[in-house]
């Protein structure tokens, strides 16, 4: 049997059969998004692009907080898939759809209040505010569809069908681009056209995702039933992951929000440097998806030896990706900055922060990998508690101590936060997920 790094080639292939399609979708989505932005950006008035940027930021923030639906669904589906329990998979699908529709409708109805809060936080000019409000109001009516798509992605990834999960991501962006061309360039609808294009794409994707998942599960209307005890457990898991995601988003938002105190140049510099974190996620997310599905399946099979095995092989690849990223950033960091921006002042200042960027993959890959393990094993309480601990004993103290360092202090806080996430997650997984702590 041929081996690589001590593992059979067939097992490496299983890891990348899940990881590679998701890596491709992670690359394809931003590329299609660039086309979307280019269409808006070539309109005669720059205010349209600014309004769409603000509106998309608000909507994305809400939907990122709802990613708990994808994570919780993946873990539960992977375990019941491993146990070959199709009835349990259908029940988890039911639970996810109920929560997605309920929460989605609530978000849509609450759109006027969400709009008011967003405009109070962002405080745009009067003209810009009008366009941004229109965009947000339209987009939030796709909330039920977006949340249903998260459930569909969870089912597909849990069943190790990452090819269709990849296609769902690509379909969303492709339909969005086509509708942008029709509504913005064809009908001249500007900001409202961009919003309706995104709404159309999200509903089309939700319908296709629902069809694919229902077909994969052999699901029909007669399978529609709710078991409230299981639904409560599903809600508890989702609540834990929501708190985890909220804390993460607040820490990341500080990188942009607090940088405003150091001037607009620093805000732009941090925006450029955060693109390196996006590049890191292209690969590390793929490996995280693999360990979610494979470790979850092994748990469903009650094969603790296989859980450890899949953790070892995926950690190997996560570490290799991290080392390669660090080497690339060390050797080509300046070139990557120049690809992102051509403004001399921003390039010069950003180069001063490259040492932080070089070590970032080595610090960050642990948290990506551990998130995958925790999701696959449904250790949602551990995800919540380790994230809060990392923010309290990692991010906040270093941010406070680093205030005299200004923007370097922010990067110190982010680095410490990522490092502490890996430490706390490792401790939780080693000691607190033992038989004496079965809840995770």
Q: Is the pLDDT of residue 372 over 90?
A: yes
Q: Would you place residue 191 in the very low, low, confident or very high pLDDT band (cuts 50, 70, 90)?
A: confident
pTM over 0.75: yes
pLDDT of residue 103: 95
Q: Is the pLDDT of residue 418 over 70?
A: yes
Paired tokens of 354: 């490259």
105 near 144, Cβ under 8 Å? yes
27-41, 211-225, 291-305 — which is least confidently predicted? 27-41
Q: Is the pLDDT of residue 326 over 90?
A: yes
> How far is Cα 346 from Cα 22, in angstroms, rounded to an integer?
32
The better pLDDT of the pair 142, 430 is held by 142
Nearest CA-CA partner of 283 in 24, 29, 23, 28: 23
Q: Is the pLDDT of residue 227 over 90?
A: no
Nearest CA-CA partner of 141 in 195, 61, 218: 195
186 near 157, Cβ under 8 Å? no
Q: Tell me the average pLDDT across 6-12.
A: 92
pLDDT of residue 67: 87
> pLDDT tens digits for 269-312?
887 888 888 889 888 999 999 999 999 999 999 999 999 999 99
Q: Tell me the average pLDDT across 67-77.
A: 92
Q: Tell me the average pLDDT across 65-94.
A: 93
Burial class (CB in 10 A: 0-12, 13-18, 19+), 293: buried
Token match 């000019």: residue? 125
> How far is Cα 157 from Cα 96, in angstroms, rounded to an integer?
14
Token match 């092989």: residue? 313
pLDDT of residue 435: 52
Q: How many residues are given for the chain? A: 440
Quick one: CA torsion of 403, 408, 410, 415, rounded to 10 degrees? -130
138 near 87, Cβ under 8 Å? no
pLDDT of residue 267: 80
| Phi and psi at residue 42, to the nearest 5° | -100, 10
């Amino acid at each position: 049997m041929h081996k690589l790094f001590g593992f059979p080639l067939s097992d490496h292939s299983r890891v990348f059969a899940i990881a590679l399609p998701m890596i491709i979708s992670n690359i394809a989505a931003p590329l299609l998004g660039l086309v979307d932005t280019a269409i808006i950006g070539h309109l005669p008035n720059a205010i349209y692009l600014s309004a769409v940027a603000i509106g998309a930021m608000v909507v994305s923030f809400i939907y990122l907080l709802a990613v708990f639906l994808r994570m919780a669904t993946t873990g539960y589906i992977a375990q019941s898939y491993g146990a070959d329990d199709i009835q349990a998979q259908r029940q988890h699908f039911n639970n996810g759809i109920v929560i997605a529709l309920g929460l989605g409708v609530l978000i849509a109805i609450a759109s006027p209040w969400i709009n008011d809060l967003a405009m109070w936080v962002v405080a745009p000019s009067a003209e810009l505010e009008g366009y941004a409000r229109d965009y947000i109001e339209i987009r939030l009516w796709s909330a039920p569809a977006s949340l249903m798509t998260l459930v569909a992605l969870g089912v597909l990834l849990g069943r190790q069908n990452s090819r269709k999960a990849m296609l769902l991501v690509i379909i969303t962006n492709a339909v969005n681009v086509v509708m942008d061309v029709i509504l913005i360039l064809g009908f001249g609808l500007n900001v409202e056209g961009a919003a309706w294009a995104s709404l159309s794409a999200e509903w089309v994707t939700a319908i296709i995702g629902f069809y694919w998942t229902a077909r994969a599960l052999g699901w029909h209307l007669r399978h529609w039933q709710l078991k409230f005890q299981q639904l409560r457990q599903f809600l508890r898991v989702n609540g834990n992951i929501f708190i985890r995601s909220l804390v993460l988003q607040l820490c990341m938002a500080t990188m942009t929000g607090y940088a405003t105190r150091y001037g607009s140049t620093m805000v732009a510099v941090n925006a450029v440097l955060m693109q390196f974190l996006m590049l890191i996620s292209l690969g590390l997310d793929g490996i995280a998806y693999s360990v979610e599905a494979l470790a979850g399946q092994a748990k469903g099979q009650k094969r603790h030896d296989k859980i450890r095995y899949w953790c070892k092989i995926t950690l190997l690849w996560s570490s290799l990706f991290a080392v390669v990223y660090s080497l690339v950033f060390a050797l080509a960091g300046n070139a990557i900055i120049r690809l992102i921006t051509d403004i001399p002042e921003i390039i010069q200042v950003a180069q001063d922060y490259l040492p932080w960027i070089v070590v970032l993959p080595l610090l960050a890959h642990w948290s990506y990998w551990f998130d995958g393990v925790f999701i696959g094993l449904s250790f949602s309480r551990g995800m919540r508690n380790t994230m809060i601990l990392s923010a309290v004993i990692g991010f906040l103290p270093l941010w406070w101590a680093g205030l005299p360092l200004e923007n370097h202090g922010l990067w110190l806080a982010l680095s410490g936060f990522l490092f502490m996430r890996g430490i706390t997650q490792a401790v939780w997984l080693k000691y607190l997920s033992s038989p004496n702590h079965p809840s995770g």
